[in-house]
Amino acid sequence: MKELSPLQIERLKYQPKLPSSLREGVNKLELIKGEETSSVRDQEQIKELFKHTYGKPIVTFNHTDNEVPCEIRNVGVILSGGQAPGGHNVIAGLYDALKQANPENKLYGFLGGPSGIIDGKYIEFSSELIDEYRNTGGFDIIGSGRTKLETQEQFEKSLGTCKKLNISAVVIIGGDDSNTNAAMLAEWFVQNNSKIQVIGCPKTIDGDLKNDQIEISFGFDTATKTYGELIGNIQRDANSAKKYWHFIKIMGRSASHVALEAALQTQPNITLISEEVEEKKMSLDEIISYMADIISARAAKGKNFGIAVIPEGLIEFFPEMKSLIANLNDLMGELEHDPDYNNATSTHEKFEIVANRLKDENVKVFESLPALIKAQLLMDRDPHGNVQVSRIETEKLLIEMIKTKLKEMKSQGEYVGKFSEQAHFFGYEGRCAFPSNFDADYCYSLGYNAFALINFGLTGYLSSIKNLTESADNWVAGGVPITMMMNMEKRHGEFKPVIQKALVKLDGSVFKKLEINREDWALNDKYKFPGAIQYFGPSSVCDITTVTLQLESKVCCTSN
């Protein structure tokens, strides 16, 4: 047995809360079907691709006194994509529901993500193993991976593995891409007369897998509280030392939900939102001017310090940078086989070769960038041949360009004070934290509910727990067809079905909360200090959910 920390010992004892409908087990449930559904966009194309699983109804579960026996079932589970706090509790909830329904049931975990089911690498879970991981962070119980389930060969190998283990259902715990693959696997199994069901669970700390039925993806609550604590600590330090500007890049490539939630928790001086930059077609120079003006205005009040929160994917949203990155994605594939580029003896020489090959409208942008950022743009590509945006130190780019801007302002007689900076990137710090009580409860419920969906013979569904701002007693368990969340998007030159990402809505209550307070927070120190995640104590401290979910719930209730 591993040596455990005192907190881990206490967390292992925590018993997650379930919706009242699930509390007496999946054998005492009745299934309530809603109306048939359609995809969010591109209905005809999605329907054609998912002939056997499209148009299914949203379902909910109610408790019933009529007990329905459960036949013996073997179930497989996959952790897919990046880690998110609470994944172990999804598996624990699935395991407990499965064993409660019938002690003869078995749960297999596929090792290393989707590749485990393809390659037939697995373990059988035992109560002893599950009990070591309850309410803990990470995905280390079976590991994760990013292999996509999308080819005929992969589907056939997955079927072979399931037949070998007599598996009748597979649960895929993942984000939008992973659950798109779950929908494709579910369709293939039905199309090929296999009775194997596929159920998904909504995971991503980015918060971009949500809609009217999926109120929040698991891990978002814990990750944003972890980042909120770190930002709050830095704000306290900045307010004490009064000599540094802290630029904090925070995880979230396509959507800025994490940065926005962390900002609402902590109220920093500057918060940039990628979706706003794109909507308003703001240039990099405009953002630099906006930030430099706030730095100058604070300096005029004797405040040579501050906090700026920056979403990870921001650089892709500037029109000029988007054009440059697209150009580089095409160009770098050619340069990989170019002897002049490969034989270049210095980075400066490589920069010159790249500048000479870029489109005219992108040359000036490339040459204006600091050498550090140029080098990062030319680093090894991701598996799809694209710039690895997460490795670009956007926070340092902004710092260098702000320094230049402040010098210009000073030369024109403006007071800019003293500018000293610190750069931070918060990413991995939040992905494997001990899940908050909310995520521990939510994830356990998602897993428990996933087996209820299996027990009723459903496939191609995402486990759904709603009404999340209420106490867990009042949560609503059910399922949503994955195809309902899909649209067609261009990926690698081809249009493919994918779950539509939920981006920050600029007309939504969450962004409006930031927008209303921006000017006040910029110049006046209204810092909030969330502190560490609390697991014990009053419910008002331990069981609160995110500001995002609270604001969205208020709007939903008002509109209803």
For residue 320, give the CATH number of its domain.
Answer: 3.40.50.460
My answer on whether 273 and 333 are in the same domain is yes
Alpha-carbon gap, residue 199 to 215, rounded angstroms? 18
Report pLDDT for 553.
86
Looking from the CA of 398 toward its CB, the CA atoms found within 13 Å total 32
My answer on whether 234 and 204 are in the same domain is no
Report pLDDT for 560.
47
Which SS3 state, helix, strand or coil, does residue 463 take?
strand
One-letter amino acid for residue 63 of the chain: H
Report pLDDT for 422.
98
Residue 294, in any domain of the structure: yes
My answer on whether 443 and 474 are in the same domain is yes
Residue 363, in any domain of the structure: yes
Phi, psi at 75, each rounded to 5°:
-125, 140
My answer on whether 200 and 213 are in the same domain is yes
Among 290, 253, 529, residue whose Cα is nearest residue 394: 253
Among 428, 426, 422, 363, residue whose Cα is nearest residue 396: 422
**Residue where the block lists tokens 């920050």:** 504
CA dihedral 521, 523, 526, 528 (to 10 degrees): 70
My answer on whether 290 and 318 are in the same domain is yes
Residue 2, in any domain of the structure: no
362, containing H or E segment: helix 360-368
Q: For residue 554, give the DSSP letter.
A: H
> How many other β-carbons are positioned within 10 Å of the β-carbon of residue 379?
12
Residue 173, in any domain of the structure: yes
| DSSP string for 45-109 | HHHHHTTTTTTPEEEEEEE-SS-------EEEEEEBSS--TTHHHHHHHHHHHHHHH-TT-EEEE
Crossing angle for the helix pair 176-191 and 152-164, to the nearest 10 degrees: 70
Residue 175, in any domain of the structure: yes
Report pLDDT for 557.
54
Alpha-carbon gap, residue 424 to 237, rounded angstroms? 14
Residue 12 structure tokens? 């292992």
Residue 271, in any domain of the structure: yes
My answer on whether 485 and 351 are in the same domain is no
Catalytically active residues are: 206
Residue-range definition of the domain harbouring residue 73: 17-219+435-491
Report pLDDT for 54.
98
Please state whether beta strands 197-202 and 461-466 pair in parallel, antiparallel, or not at all (unpaired): parallel
Please state whether beta strands 476-481 and 306-311 pair in parallel, antiparallel, or not at all (unpaired): unpaired
Residue 412 structure tokens? 């024109």
| DSSP string for 116-157 | HHHHT-EEE--HHHHHTTTT--SSTTT--B-----SHHHHHH
* CATH code for the domain of 441: 3.40.50.450
Alpha-carbon gap, residue 143 to 243, rounded angstroms? 43
Name, in order, each residue with C-beta under 8 angstroms of 189's C-beta and a sequence gap of 6 or more.
155, 159, 195, 196, 197, 198, 459
The pLDDT profile of the chain, 560 residues, written as one tens digit per residue, is: 578 999 999 999 999 999 999 999 999 999 999 999 999 999 999 999 999 999 999 999 999 999 988 899 999 999 999 999 999 999 999 999 999 999 999 999 999 999 999 999 999 999 999 999 999 999 999 999 999 998 999 999 999 999 999 999 999 999 999 999 999 999 999 999 999 999 999 999 999 999 989 999 999 999 999 999 999 999 999 999 999 999 999 998 889 999 999 999 999 999 999 999 999 999 999 999 999 999 999 999 999 999 999 999 999 899 999 999 989 988 988 888 899 999 998 999 999 999 999 999 999 999 999 999 999 998 877 666 677 777 889 999 999 999 999 999 999 999 999 999 999 999 999 999 999 999 999 999 999 999 999 999 999 999 999 999 999 999 999 999 999 999 999 876 689 999 999 999 999 999 999 999 999 999 999 999 999 999 999 988 998 999 999 999 876 555 54
My answer on whether 139 and 125 are in the same domain is yes
**Residue where the block lists tokens 């920056």:** 310
Looking from the CA of 314 toward its CB, the CA atoms found within 13 Å total 27
What is each CA distance from 373 to 180, 286, 289, 327, 365, in whole angstroms? 34, 19, 19, 16, 12
Residue 502, in any domain of the structure: no
* Helix and strand element counts for the chain (H, E): 22, 15
My answer on whether 343 and 353 are in the same domain is yes
My answer on whether 422 and 466 are in the same domain is no
| DSSP string for 309-340 | EEETTGGGGSHHHHHHHHHHHHHHHHHTT-HH
One-letter amino acid for residue 61 of the chain: F
One-letter amino acid for residue 76 of the chain: G
Residue 188 structure tokens? 């293939």
Alpha-carbon gap, residue 41 to 44, rounded angstroms? 9
Q: How far apart are the first and last CA of the chain?
A: 52
Residue 477, in any domain of the structure: yes
Q: For residue 557, give the DSSP letter.
A: H
Domains identified in the chain, total number: 2
Burial 54-85 (b: 16+ CB within 10 A, else e): bbbbbbbbeeeeeeeebeebbbbbbbbbbbbb
Q: Strand pairing partners for 555? A: none
Report pLDDT for 492.
66
Evaluate if pTM is beyond 0.85. yes
My answer on whether 319 and 452 are in the same domain is no
My answer on whether 475 and 530 are in the same domain is no
My answer on whether 268 and 142 are in the same domain is no
Q: Are 70 and 63 in contact (CB under 8 A)?
A: no
Among 39, 59, 518, residue whose Cα is nearest residue 270: 518
Residue 446 structure tokens? 């998602």
Q: What is the pLDDT of residues 309-352, one digit of tens each?
A: 999 999 989 999 999 998 998 898 888 889 999 999 899 999 99
